[in-house]
């Protein structure tokens, strides 16, 4: 499962974006769980669990750029897509290694393009099922360093 975070201090916008992402991932056959965070602080509490984050730049207290920097320290493999109505701040996303930028109000075609681009450049995020002593384990491909098979 792909763990996706949407972080925006405006609850209505965050929920709309989350609903759009659910639909887009479902259309692509990607099993994705979407979590909504209304502040950078809340997102950082779950940073290690996330594979992809849609991060608003302009938020009070801890803005998207600072949140992105801290996220990158805690989870360097997490893909970041910056979201903002303030196009003049989009370049700040390069500081945190953002893979894409989406402008507000969010247009579905632009969001679709960002989702497709991140899915294409995020190899190894697919979950596979492994068994150890007849007990199943779900593991992302990019977490496997070495694998050896016996009797199967």
The more confidently predicted of residues 123 and 61 is 61
User: Which of 152, 149, 107, 126 is closest to 3 using CA atoms?
Assistant: 126
Q: What is the pLDDT of residues 101-138, one digit of tens each?
A: 999 999 999 999 999 888 875 556 567 788 888 888 88
- Span of 8-22, 35-49, 73-87 with lowest mean pLDDT: 73-87
Using the CB atoms, write b or e for 59-84: b if 16+ within 10 Å.
beebbbbbbbebbbeebeebbbbbbb
Find tokens 């779950």 and name the residue.
46
Region 90-96: mean pLDDT is 81
């Amino acid at each position: 499962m792909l763990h996706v975070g949407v972080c925006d201090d405006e609850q209505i916008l965050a929920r709309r974006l989350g609903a759009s992402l659910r639909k887009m991932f479902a259309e692509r056959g990607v099993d994705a769980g979407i979590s909504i965070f209304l502040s950078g602080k809340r997102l950082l509490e779950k940073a290690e669990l996330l594979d992809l984050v849609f991060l608003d730049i302009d938020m009070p207290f801890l803005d998207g750029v600072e949140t992105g920097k801290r996220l990158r320290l805690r989870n360097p493999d997490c893909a970041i897509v910056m979201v903002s109505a303030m196009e003049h701040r989009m370049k700040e996303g390069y500081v945190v290694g953002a893979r894409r930028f989406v402008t507000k109000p969010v247009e579905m075609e632009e969001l679709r393009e960002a989702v497709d681009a991140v899915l294409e450049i995020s190899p190894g995020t697919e979950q596979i099922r492994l068994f150890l002593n007849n007990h199943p384990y779900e593991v992302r491909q990019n977490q496997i360093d070495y694998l050896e098979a016996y009797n199967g």
